A and B are shown apart, each in its own frame.
Chain A
């Protein structure tokens, strides 16, 4: 597994000796506490990580990513490029949907027709798959996928949310609406109950194609938005796994004898991005100076309790295109001061920062950043605003001040996703950054499927971006899960997709 990176500030935690495990007699079923309800289970409607937490147990795609993010055959046993724009898949045989419908080439074709058709266009998934022109049935268990342009990350995308296979008979029979609430897939668990904003009940799929799996009889996901409440539920044994443990809560988890803390690095990275249209941030030197001024290690160490990983560019170490040779800007306030002075930035220059008000952790981080910047003579005004307004209005329209928080995962685990969206001129989340060379490299990596070639381009691109410093890259997020000791074989997922088929209870 990949590294988490946390370490304990309070080593040698004392656990309550007499704490009895309150969940001990729940039997062969578990309860998971998650923080939000995606509202719709239809894969083409969603882009929420929380969807995948549950839906990974219900749906499967042709290709899947295992817990270590390696691409694996899923419902397709194998695939090959017939040419640059044709891909052929051999499908797994003997798989049935939860409702008894057989899985076959028709189902795959139906799935993609739906995704790329009228219904799919209403949702956000459609745009990820526009490089697919059509899907054709070759025989019952073979399909070919025609592409209208080469797509180097297509296979990764096929492991994405929108490309999971849905049962054609069921979907046509029940309306689209009902499918939202009562999804049917081929996964290890079938959904037998869903109360919106309360709970989702999954039961073992007896006919699952992986031998002997799943091990659990039943999994219930409870939706508990408030972290404190989630922790309370965990402490009282009402849930076995708690998603999204806050750093502040880790001590309590570690102090409770029947709980263990699991940490895992995620693809999501957090940055304070610069709006380069605003002076003095139009100067590369100023941006670099700010990078030097901030002690990212201390932030990770102190505020995140060590649960964060330093990054050098706007991507995680999990991402294809990450450049391990680049080291994060060092903490050097003296140098920062000099550079600012050289760039003619006056002492006490004010910078507006926009952050979402509902992210408690980041609020603390921003305050620390403000503190560091003050040391080099910059004054930061922190505006905490409604998150939705920030991402859907302020950032796209360049109204987010000098700097704003952005977290980004790059769901394809390929730097293309991040880099293109963030640095290509005119993209939604790139209000002002523009660099000819960057544009060139971005275009170049999209025209080839040769991964080595692309890797080279990315190395060049990252070096360039590192120097241009369009943001302060703060850290790669580490997800924290708290788990009841009675669970075995639970491995925290890198990207929220909680795989539960191997999990057993003591």
Chain B
């Protein structure tokens, strides 16, 4: 009898990148929209000087509150999105503003992520008194009013973008810690973690090689959502008078400082508002998409 080699045939042809891309867009329109928005924001932040020709901090009191040129009946205005209360070009400020907003979002999240992850890992993995201790510290952090915390830190360390980043980072570690703790508690009982112990792994290797990579996706998901939240918090801090240096363009600052002009010069608050909204929306959609992608229940 002849042995016959029967080929396993792929019934599905290999896809080109473009096809795969369209498939992705079709299957995850929300994720795609999110990605585009995030790209736009990050792009503005990175390439601001190439995008705009105006100096964002160039004040000119004579063009104070000039409307966008297309909405200016007198036709004098030369500003694309109008000018702000110091006659600075709103468009370039919005483009440059992406820098502070994203910086606050990104580094703030980075700090809280690092602290929270370490705390969550320790708390979930070792349990017992360490867990109790860390969770109580988390309770304390939660019960302590954020604004007061901000004022205390600022009066000790001074003000500035980095101070805001530190404050947000320190305040929001709790979210990460709790999330990760919960996951570690269930991961720790997973067979592959037992297996890691059985093959002679130390606690440190187990955490590093087996636990951490498996919580990474949730960290990422929460991270994107916190970036969005931090962008808004920077705005709120400015509203309460604890914001960044007003000469540095930031969306939150622009929005907070222009709130009295909402009725008289709508563009001063509407455009930064839209910028914030789109970016926040973008990060949230991205986070949602990541969540769906990494949600084990969604896997087929």
Contact = CB atoms under 8 A, between A and B. Distances in A.
Interface stretch (B44-52, B171-179, B205-213, B261-269): B261-269
Contacts of B246: 363-364, 366-367, 382, 384
A334 interface: no
A480 to B, nearest CB: 12
B159 interface: yes
A315 B154 CA distance: 32
B160 interface: yes
A249 B86 contact: no
A371 B246 CA distance: 12
B85 A389 contact: no
B252 interface: no
B264 A248 contact: yes
Contacts of A387: 241
Contact of A251 (B59, B61, B159, B264): B264
A227 interface: yes
Nearest to A370: B247
Main SS of the interface on chain B? loop
B5 interface: no
A228 interface: yes
A302 interface: yes
Interface residues of B, number: 30
A248 B260 contact: yes
Contact of B158 (A363, A364, A383): A383
A450 to B, nearest CB: 45
B188 interface: no
A386 B260 contact: no
Contacts of B85: 248, 303, 364
A252 B263 contact: yes
Interface string B145-158: 00000010011001
Contacts of B260: 227-228, 246, 248-249, 360
Contacts of A248: 85, 260-261, 264-265
B236 to A, nearest CB: 12
B72 to A, nearest CB: 14
Interface in A222-258: 227-228, 231, 246, 248-249, 251-252
A134 B158 CA distance: 47
A386 B260 CA distance: 20
Interface in B189-243: 238, 240-243
Contact of B86 (A358, A368, A383, A389): A368
21 contacts: A248-B85, A248-B260, A248-B261, A251-B264, A301-B61, A302-B64, A357-B242, A360-B257, A360-B260, A363-B257, A367-B59, A368-B59, A383-B158, A384-B243, A384-B245, A385-B154, A385-B158, A386-B151, A386-B242, A387-B241, A393-B155
Interface of B: 59, 61-62, 64, 85-86, 151, 154-155, 158-160, 238, 240-247, 256-257, 259-265
